[in-house]
A and B are shown apart, each in its own frame.
Chain A
Amino acid sequence: MSGQIQTITMPKWGMEMTEGLVGDWYVAVGAEVSEGDDLVDVETSKIVNTVTATASGVLQRIIASPGDNLPVGAVLGVLAPAGTAEADIEAFVGQFGGAAEPAPAPAEVPAAAPAPAAAPVVQAVAEPAPEVTVAPAPAANGGLAALADGPDDSAVAASPVARRLAAHYGVNLNNITASGLHGRVSKADLESAVAAAGGSLLTPSPASGKAVAQDDSAVAATPVARRLAAEMGINLHDCRSSGSRGRVSKADVEARAALNGKASIQPAEKAESAPVPAFEEKPLSGMRKTIAARLQQSKQTAPHFRVQVDAQLDALMALRKALNDAHSEAKISVNDFIIKACASALVRVPEVNVQFDGEQVRYFADADIAVAVALDDGLITPIVRGANKKGLVAISNEVRDLATRAKLGRLQPEEFQGGTFSVSNLGMFGVKQFDAIINPPQCAILAVGAGEPRPVWRDGSWQAATVVSLSLSSDHRIIDGAVAARFMAALRGFLEEPGTMLG
């Protein structure tokens, strides 16, 4: 795909993603990027993730600004190989602008750079759009295009730098005559081929972007100027020095600030009678917004009903201890047992192992169980896939890894999107029992309380047992009461006699 002008679009991370909130860009217009480099953060339902470059090139346009909330497929920016003619990029931007916004005649478009506010949308499903994203760059790098084709070049001997440059220029290494050490393609080989093909070479970028902050502690300045500069984030090296004995004065710092477009520090307004506000206002984070929207939608559209059972865990606790004593490589929790038991119950009662998108029901053979993990601000539900096929040690270690990475924000979208059933456990907080809201398109969620000693009537007398209260919320559009009851009966059976899960 390299060697061409292409769009950077709002990705679709999983089935449920329809839009994303654009965050900060990591690169500036004009900067070179390599395939895989971070380009821009996008906050979606549940996580902040980073859109990476799918090819190497130069970021030619930034179209989406931080704060824009854009649908999947919306154009965020334009990437093209270094040396692509400006006119071609304009033409490309114009062309895709025309495709996305049918109104203006093509002739009128090129002049105006697309306004960030009205980011054009390329619908993932829209008809003529797809070719836009793979449109070959016209003319200018036509010569380089001749170097682009060829068989897989991953085995061609090339220096590390040459290989990286080849990716940047979109050149297949099979097309380059090697003259480097050991017959490898060297940087020089690559550059001379690119130049011979009419491509323009990378030039050292003139101190673009941020200059490295220089230590200004040795610059002579008045004490006031120094403190003011520090407060305003101004480097004293950047100020003229018109003060006495050649020092930077307060006026010099303020002049620099004005140049930078910063207002000088105003005396703080006297907060004479303004009472200290008793609250703090914060906008919702993307994750909070998603939780709010999805759960509101779930509660409003899915008619929830709940089925509750208590399960005695003494046999499970004994087995857990035996397993943990036998397996130093795992620390199996009660929740791991519950995940395994749910998977077994879902196999036995497959009517609960479903997704519903409002029109069709999908029945799944395997139980992909989403496990709620609390984060500092919100929650996320990474998925143990095929839990019915995994042993407790494997489930336990997978949940541990997923939970660790969930807290670090390092889950991949496919690790938390989808799922056929959810488990939410608040037992560690001492909660006795609660009800959970279904996580659509799933149709059921299990809420797990704390296992605790309770009196149970057994063999004609009251005895102490470790008991947990379980509550299943089901979507009555799909799951009927009797089905939920059968599921819970199966679940209780697996928990109370955990050996039966082996069958």
Chain B
Amino acid sequence: MAENFDLVVVGSGPGGYIAAVRASQLGFRTAIVERERLGGVCLNWGCIPTKALLRGAELLHQLKLGAQFGIQVENSSIDLARLVGHSRGVADKLSGGIAWLMRKHNVTVIEGNARVTGKCRLEVDTDKGTTTIDAPHIVLATGAHARALPGIPFDGELVWSAREAMTPKALPQKLLIIGAGAIGVEFASLYNDLGSEVTLVEALPRILPVEDADVSAFVDKAFRARGMTIHTGAKVEGVRPEGNGVSATVQLSGETRELQFDRVILAVGIGGNLEGLGLEALGVKLDRGFIATDEYCRTNVVGLYAIGDIAGPPWLAHKASHEAVICVEKIAGISGVKPLVKSNVPGCTYCRPQVASVGLTESAARENGRAIRVGRFDLAANGKALAIGEASGFVKTVFDASTGELLGAHMTGPEVTEQIQGFALARGMEATEAELKHAIFPHPTLSEAMHESVLDAWGEALNH
């Protein structure tokens, strides 16, 4: 006999668990299926544990800067096991928090592997056998996994995915990172601070290729100044074990070179967790390896929805959570539910210097063919940045010259990830330069640079 629910969520990451909570709030009898740990990649193997590690690396770095504040620290060093322990502890705590949330909202948690066996029907393989679940609404939120490259499979030993990279037992002396998107760049920053000799290889012409070109160039320069080796427009063609490490074949501006490393982190992108879900038999439409959905997260199959990473880019936790709410509220018939506006989703990279952005890059805005205004303000002229000893970075804003619409904002420097929401709010409200100019930014803060950047776009910057 099948179990019945009004709504079942598959996957308990930041998309899935939010969908379950919202569904329960609205009165759905809700279940959530998870095959691993509650919380998904985000808080077990992604966003959160890496932030814990990066904080440790940042502290180590700060101690080295202590001298300018009169702090003498002799021989500061880091105990890798304890740093990883802290990271895992945070992940455990948060996963427990999700379990508590599910109890609080009366969501039935089913541990097992789910597959869709028909319209509105799931089978879940659990410890106690296979359960059939019938529900008129099934929300897939199974996330994504790191993609390997042909000829460079993950082995968990020499070639790491993010998961191994955040639980190292020993610090690799020489580390190759393939892929300079957000994940690759964060690990490059982390391992460089921890003391590894980092080489970053990117196939595209610049690191952080989705960010504004100025930001990419700034981070590239900062990374090189920290001693990293960066090869852009380069390809790693193969990796083979050699001694206790690997030998990598790298294509560098037309010439092929053999380079030796202790470990490799592969961060070239992700693929949707589709396998074993039974989507093919059901005829679920895909789009470039992810589930195709409409603006309210509906697939082409009745009662089947997809949110978060598995529903395509941008692959960000906050996008998944936002889609979760849209999807469930639409099913419940709440009026005024608005589709996700992808250009309003901020993106953050937690390397040093941090990177945060929302909306169009300058070049993308120019390609649209409309006249634009661009403002830029460097943190070198920001009092707070000087005071805290991190006066490096900038804020760039891109406006439509005639409508005043804030088309995009691009920031790099200390704590910019905490500030980008200001610009995200402005975009969400369709604010123009006028509202931003009239907003009062507190002094002394790093965020004053946001204000000055807006003023600069209109040639009115006051502090440079």
Which A positions have Cβ atoms within 8 angstroms of B? Answer: 160, 181-182, 324, 327-331, 396-397, 400-401, 403-405, 407-410
A182-B434, A328-B300, A328-B302 are contacts. A404–B332 as well, Cβ < 8 Å?
A: yes
Whether A404 and B435, one on each chain, are in contact in the complex, defined by CB atoms closer than 8 angstroms, is: no
List residues of B (399-456) whose CB comes within 8 Å of A's CBs: 404, 429, 432, 434-435, 438
Whether B282 and A328, one on each chain, are in contact in the complex, defined by CB atoms closer than 8 angstroms, is: yes
User: In the complex, A480→B303 CA distance in Å?
Assistant: 42
User: In the complex, A329→B292 CA distance in Å?
Assistant: 13
Whether A329 and B300, one on each chain, are in contact in the complex, defined by CB atoms closer than 8 angstroms, is: yes
User: In the complex, A157→B416 CA distance in Å?
Assistant: 33
Asked if B48 lies at the interface with its beta carbon under 8 angstroms from chain A, I say: no
- Closest CB in chain A relative to B453 CB, distance in Å: 19
Q: Which residues of A contact B120 (CB under 8 A)?
A: 331
- Closest CB in chain A relative to B440 CB, distance in Å: 14
In terms of DSSP, what is the predominant structure of the interface of chain B?
Answer: loop
Q: Which residues of A contact B303 (CB under 8 A)?
A: 331, 400
Which chain A residue lies CB-closest to B23? Answer: A408
User: In the complex, A181→B120 CA distance in Å?
Assistant: 52
Asked if B136 lies at the interface with its beta carbon under 8 angstroms from chain A, I say: yes
Asked if B322 lies at the interface with its beta carbon under 8 angstroms from chain A, I say: no
User: In the complex, A338→B365 CA distance in Å?
Assistant: 56
Asked if B390 lies at the interface with its beta carbon under 8 angstroms from chain A, I say: no
Nearest 8 A/B pairs, CB to CB: A331-B119, A181-B434, A408-B27, A405-B333, A328-B301, A331-B302, A328-B283, A330-B302
User: In the complex, A92→B331 CA distance in Å?
Assistant: 44
Which chain B residue lies CB-closest to A160? Answer: B429
Whether B333 and A404, one on each chain, are in contact in the complex, defined by CB atoms closer than 8 angstroms, is: yes
User: In the complex, A306→B27 CA distance in Å?
Assistant: 37
Taking A324-B119, A329-B301, A330-B302 as known contacts, 7 extra A-B pairs with beta carbons closer than 8 A to each other, sorted by chain A number, are A329-B300, A331-B302, A396-B302, A404-B137, A405-B332, A407-B28, A410-B332
Asked if B371 lies at the interface with its beta carbon under 8 angstroms from chain A, I say: no
Q: Which residues of A contact B331 (CB under 8 A)?
A: 404
User: In the complex, A405→B28 CA distance in Å?
Assistant: 9
Q: Which residues of B contact A403 (CB under 8 A)?
A: 136
List residues of B (310-354) whose CB comes within 8 Å of A's CBs: 331-334
Which chain B residue lies CB-closest to A396? Answer: B302
Asked if B6 lies at the interface with its beta carbon under 8 angstroms from chain A, I say: yes
Q: Which residues of A contact B137 (CB under 8 A)?
A: 404
Q: Which residues of B contact A324 (CB under 8 A)?
A: 119
- Closest CB in chain A relative to B306 CB, distance in Å: 14
User: In the complex, A308→B403 CA distance in Å?
Assistant: 70
Q: Which residues of A contact B332 (CB under 8 A)?
A: 404-405, 408, 410
Q: Which residues of A contact B333 (CB under 8 A)?
A: 401, 404-405, 408, 410
Whether B27 and A407, one on each chain, are in contact in the complex, defined by CB atoms closer than 8 angstroms, is: yes
Q: Which residues of B contact A408 (CB under 8 A)?
A: 26-28, 332-333
Whether A182 and B432, one on each chain, are in contact in the complex, defined by CB atoms closer than 8 angstroms, is: yes
User: In the complex, A181→B438 CA distance in Å?
Assistant: 9
- Closest CB in chain A relative to B69 CB, distance in Å: 33
Q: Which residues of B contact A410 (CB under 8 A)?
A: 26-27, 332-334
User: In the complex, A400→B7 CA distance in Å?
Assistant: 13
Q: Which residues of A contact B434 (CB under 8 A)?
A: 181-182
Number of CB contacts from chain A to chain B under 8 A: 54
Sampled A-B contacts (24; CB under 8 Å) = A181-B432, A181-B434, A182-B432, A182-B434, A324-B119, A327-B302, A328-B282, A328-B283, A328-B301, A328-B302, A329-B300, A329-B302, A330-B302, A331-B119, A331-B120, A331-B303, A400-B303, A404-B331, A404-B333, A407-B6, A408-B332, A409-B27, A410-B332, A410-B333
User: In the complex, A41→B429 CA distance in Å?
Assistant: 33
Q: Which residues of B contact A397 (CB under 8 A)?
A: 302
- Closest CB in chain B relative to A88 CB, distance in Å: 35
User: In the complex, A403→B7 CA distance in Å?
Assistant: 13
Which chain B residue lies CB-closest to A415? Answer: B333
User: In the complex, A331→B282 CA distance in Å?
Assistant: 12
- Closest CB in chain A relative to B324 CB, distance in Å: 17
User: In the complex, A292→B284 CA distance in Å?
Assistant: 46
User: In the complex, A238→B89 CA distance in Å?
Assistant: 38
Which chain A residue lies CB-closest to B284? Answer: A328
List residues of B (287-308) whose CB comes within 8 Å of A's CBs: 300-303
Q: Which residues of B contact A330 (CB under 8 A)?
A: 302
Most chain B C-beta atoms within 10 Å of own C-beta, residue among A324, A397, A408: A408
Whether B282 and A404, one on each chain, are in contact in the complex, defined by CB atoms closer than 8 angstroms, is: no
List residues of B (80-114) whose CB comes within 8 Å of A's CBs: none
List residues of B (34-78) whose CB comes within 8 Å of A's CBs: none
List residues of B (1-51) whose CB comes within 8 Å of A's CBs: 6, 26-28
Which chain B residue lies CB-closest to A403? Answer: B136
- Closest CB in chain A relative to B6 CB, distance in Å: 6
- Closest CB in chain B relative to A4 CB, distance in Å: 27
Whether B302 and A400, one on each chain, are in contact in the complex, defined by CB atoms closer than 8 angstroms, is: yes
Which chain A residue lies CB-closest to B29? Answer: A407
Whether A400 and B136, one on each chain, are in contact in the complex, defined by CB atoms closer than 8 angstroms, is: yes
List residues of B (104-139) whose CB comes within 8 Å of A's CBs: 119-120, 136-137
Which chain B residue lies CB-closest to A401? Answer: B333
Whether A404 and B119, one on each chain, are in contact in the complex, defined by CB atoms closer than 8 angstroms, is: no
Which chain A residue lies CB-closest to B119? Answer: A331
Q: Which residues of B contact A329 (CB under 8 A)?
A: 300-302
Which chain A residue lies CB-closest to B429? Answer: A160
User: In the complex, A327→B282 CA distance in Å?
Assistant: 11
- Closest CB in chain A relative to B160 CB, distance in Å: 40
- Closest CB in chain B relative to A196 CB, distance in Å: 24
Which chain B residue lies CB-closest to A405? Answer: B333
- Closest CB in chain B relative to A493 CB, distance in Å: 29
- Closest CB in chain B relative to A405 CB, distance in Å: 5
User: In the complex, A327→B432 CA distance in Å?
Assistant: 46
User: In the complex, A410→B283 CA distance in Å?
Assistant: 32
Q: Which residues of B contact A328 (CB under 8 A)?
A: 119, 282-284, 300-302
- Closest CB in chain A relative to B186 CB, distance in Å: 36
- Closest CB in chain B relative to A285 CB, distance in Å: 16
Whether A404 and B136, one on each chain, are in contact in the complex, defined by CB atoms closer than 8 angstroms, is: yes
User: In the complex, A400→B303 CA distance in Å?
Assistant: 9
- Report B120-164 CB contacts with A as 1/0, cut-off 8 Å: 100000000000000011000000000000000000000000000
Q: Which residues of B contact A160 (CB under 8 A)?
A: 429
User: In the complex, A352→B331 CA distance in Å?
Assistant: 34
User: In the complex, A328→B303 CA distance in Å?
Assistant: 10
- Closest CB in chain B relative to A372 CB, distance in Å: 17
Q: Which residues of A contact B302 (CB under 8 A)?
A: 327-331, 396-397, 400
Which chain B residue lies CB-closest to A402? Answer: B333
User: In the complex, A330→B137 CA distance in Å?
Assistant: 12
Which chain A residue lies CB-closest to B437? Answer: A181
User: In the complex, A394→B404 CA distance in Å?
Assistant: 44
User: In the complex, A329→B300 CA distance in Å?
Assistant: 6
Which chain A residue lies CB-closest to B120? Answer: A331
Q: Which residues of A contact B334 (CB under 8 A)?
A: 410
Which chain B residue lies CB-closest to A376? Answer: B29
User: In the complex, A330→B120 CA distance in Å?
Assistant: 10
Whether A404 and B6, one on each chain, are in contact in the complex, defined by CB atoms closer than 8 angstroms, is: yes
Which chain A residue lies CB-closest to B303? Answer: A331
Q: Which residues of A contact B300 (CB under 8 A)?
A: 328-329
Which chain A residue lies CB-closest to B304? Answer: A328
Q: Which residues of B contact A181 (CB under 8 A)?
A: 432, 434-435, 438
